[in-house]
Chain A
Amino acid sequence: MQSRSATPLPHGRRLGLLLALAGLVVIGVSPGAARDAFVAGGRSTSRVDLGEATRRAVEARAERVGRALGLPAGARRETVRLDDRFDSIVVDEVTTLDAAGRPLAVQRFGADGRLRTAVRLGWSTATGHLTPGQAGSRAAVILDTVGVRLSDRPVVTAQPSDRGWLVAWPRRIADVPVRGDGAWVRLWADGSIQSVAIVEAPLAPAPAELLSSEQARRRAEAQLAGWARDGQAIGVVESLELAWVAPNDVFEPSLPDAPSAVRRLAWIARVTPSDALASRMRAIELYIDAGDGRLLGGDLLE
């Protein structure tokens, strides 16, 4: 869990300029950005027509990528184009099946042809003695084989559910993290691949003027005070972190049920609940818009 302390930005104006420039580069807005909003209880994906020529091209790409990653070749493939309204992306999904029709692997490509997900289905009882460094190197090699080269040092985590290793490269823009974006490689304990995922959501333009962390703290505290009932405090703002976040409906039911497709720059205020609430809530996060101080949503640890 992240729990960075609030610190004044050393070069606030310079960072603001960098972020503004970064935000101007709206990366790959999904073709389905104007689609109907996802509604809880409904299906998040629907099939979209995929022409024969496109299907052949996608399957050729999947064969190439699958071979590079060492995914099973299988007996046949099923390819569909999906409009995923929950994840706000249109993807071409290729499922590799064995002769009995059982799925062995799934690959997903974005409309731009870039790999988004590759999963080797199933479970492995393989054992191994990789060090975190070896797991990170192995994951970097795997990404390199599909043309993804990342210079940063990854975050390597042993998976407690005995799934091996999770190697992550969180996405950062001008050293500011993009919450939920990045590249992930899951490895079995012996270093073989379980999955690759790459998430890179579009970014809204960064605000020209950034709220200071102290302004954001005051905004968060005002929100908490507004929610307080009968003088009972909600909690204390423990830390603030600048990050790109997906606005959501956590505190505003009228908003769509899926997180927003476009990330916005926000201060994440981490709140430790008061003693009175601690039995019902372990932590609260408020997303405070880094430009105008609006509440963009948040998250809860029950």
Chain B
Amino acid sequence: MTNPSAHRGHWQMLAPPILALVMLAAVAPGAQAGYQATVDVNDTAFDPVCLGFEDTFPEKMVVAATAAYKRLGYMTTSFTGKAFTRAHVLARTPADWGYYVHSHGDKYLNSDGRRYSGFREDSGDCSQSVVFSKDIAAKRAGRQSNLVIMSTCHLGDSDTTMPAAFAIQKDKALALEWNGPEFYVGYYGLAWDSDEWIFEQRFWDALARGYGVGAAFDLALSRGGFGHAFDADWWGSYYWSGRAGPGSACTKCS
């Protein structure tokens, strides 16, 4: 694995047009062939070109999420800048078992006159289209997914339509239930970046230590230290390792 900090530094030296094309493509040693994960991070919206100053959260999050999915055995590829577009998301999603996105999220008005959960692409510029849950649902057509993390505002709200797009039932399966190897995480309401970052780092670390997805979620949320009101929700199977594939073992999941 490359040194993430060196990678960040390299990014910051690149000119924005080149930066926009950077893709952190990597296949982890031991990744399970066929279990693809995509990490999409909207960076341009939070760069000087759109904002006036550099926001470092997206760069940290893409590195952390990519490393985490690789540790879980996914064939993980990361996209940002011009590489993270609505068309790219919809082209890749049918083959995604794992999906992580950090961007704006909300219930956006669709051209059909209804509101759906969605998030904004990066596209390498400051005018960013919405990727709607209904678009993802249409492309995936009910295909199973594994670990889906929505690092955005609002996509953990009780009325979110995003889990269903990834064929994850909005149900909490515990000891006596099993919804299969699937787990969806989203944040409730408005979530500040620093709180998302704290939550995610704790979640990734707990998974890496062998805790299952449900326990990792509880450990990430329950340790306090958030700077603002922060809440997250999950749906799927509490007792599952998070590892790629239709079924896998976990040392602390049973």
Contact = CB atoms under 8 A, between A and B. Distances in A.
Contacts of B254: 100-102
Interface in A246-261: 248-253, 257-259
A299 B192 contact: yes
B111 interface: no
B238 A122 contact: yes
Contacts of A186: 222
A102 B212 CA distance: 9
A245 B189 CA distance: 23
B222 A253 contact: no
A97 B253 CA distance: 10
A87 interface: yes
Contact of A161 (B4, B64, B156): B156
Residue from the set A186, A197, A251, A302 with the largest chain B CB neighbour count within 10 Å: A302
B162 interface: no
A300 B46 contact: yes
B238 A41 contact: no
B220 to A, nearest CB: 10
Interface stretch (B14-22, B131-139, B223-231): B223-231
Contact of A182 (B1, B48, B204, B224): B224
Interface string A51-95: 000000000000000000000000000000000001100000001
Contacts of B233: 161
A117 B222 contact: yes
B129 interface: no
A13 to B, nearest CB: 28
A281 B4 contact: no
Interface in A240-279: 245, 248-253, 257-259, 277
Contacts of A87: 202, 223, 225
B227 A180 contact: yes
Interface residues of B, number: 73
A103 interface: yes
Interface in A158-189: 159-163, 166, 179-184, 186
B172 A123 contact: yes
Contacts of A280: 45-46, 50-51, 104, 126
Contacts of B4: 39-42
B52 interface: yes
Given A86-B201, A86-B205, A277-B51, A299 B222 contact: no
Interface stretch (A133-141, A211-219, A226-234): A226-234
Contacts of A251: 53-56
A301 interface: yes
Contacts of B211: 103
A198 B225 CA distance: 8
B91 to A, nearest CB: 25
Band of interface residues on A: 35 or more
Contacts of B12: 253
B231 A302 contact: no
A280 B126 CA distance: 8
A249 B61 CA distance: 13
Given A250-B194, A280-B51, A86 B202 contact: yes
Contacts of B48: 227, 229
A41 B227 contact: no
B188 A44 contact: no
B92 interface: no
Contacts of A40: 4-5, 8, 59-61, 63-64
A171 B192 CA distance: 20
Interface in A95-126: 95, 97, 100-103, 106, 108, 116-117, 119, 121-123
A300 B57 contact: yes
Nearest to A117: B223
A160 B63 CA distance: 30
A106 B215 contact: yes
Interface string B171-198: 0101100000000000011111110001
A228 B50 CA distance: 10
B209 interface: yes
A234 B174 contact: no
16 contacts: A1-B229, A40-B64, A41-B66, A43-B205, A87-B225, A119-B218, A195-B218, A199-B225, A248-B194, A258-B201, A280-B45, A280-B46, A280-B104, A282-B190, A299-B228, A302-B193
Interface of A: 1-2, 39-45, 86-87, 95, 97, 100-103, 106, 108, 116-117, 119, 121-123, 157, 159-163, 166, 179-184, 186, 194-195, 197-199, 227-229, 232, 234, 245, 248-253, 257-259, 277, 280-282, 299-302
Interface of B: 1, 3-5, 8-9, 12, 45-46, 48, 50-57, 59-61, 63-64, 66-67, 103-104, 126, 152-153, 156-158, 172, 174-175, 188-194, 198, 201-202, 204-205, 208-209, 211-212, 214-215, 218-219, 222-229, 231-233, 238-239, 251-254
Given A184-B224, A186-B222, A253-B12, 5 more contacts: A39-B3, A102-B239, A103-B252, A232-B52, A253-B9
